[in-house]
Amino acid sequence: MKAVSIVKAILFSLLGLALGLFGLVFLFSDLGPGETLAHRYTVTVLFNLVCGLVIGLFNARVWAISGVVAWAGILIALRGLAAGPALWPEMLTVAAVSPLPAFTGGYLGALIIRKRVFRRLFRRGTEPPRGNS
């Protein structure tokens, strides 16, 4: 791995840690007036998916660092699981809501870049796409 790639991976890891603070706020704060737990989980899933997508788009080789965004959710889930069986259903949901969308977004971002989806979608001219026909 080149030095530029290593620096880029470190910068996006730090970005993921910083974005994880927002995930901590989403999962740890009290619900607002009129807000439901399902709404909170939906916002958390979308946030982690978009953050993972951005990290995967800009750093396709090491897309798995997109999971760093979910650090807060994993820590909250581990603490809740250690507290006792009464919290296990909710904590298992938190454990799934945090890392799965982040990793999925990172993988999709890397896939979009590797397959050059944007270049194919926004190609100029009427030339048919090249490939196996």
pLDDT in tens, 82-115: 888 888 888 888 888 888 999 999 999 999 888 8
**Terminal CA-CA length for the chain:** 36
Has this prediction a pTM greater than 0.95?
A: no
Helix (H) or strand (E) holding 100: helix 99-114
Burial class for 81, CB neighbours closer than 10 Å (0-12, 13-18, 19+): middle
In angstroms, rounded to a whole number, what is the distance separating the alpha carbons of residues 63 and 123? 26
pLDDT tens-digit readout, 55-85: 999 888 888 898 898 888 888 888 888 888 8
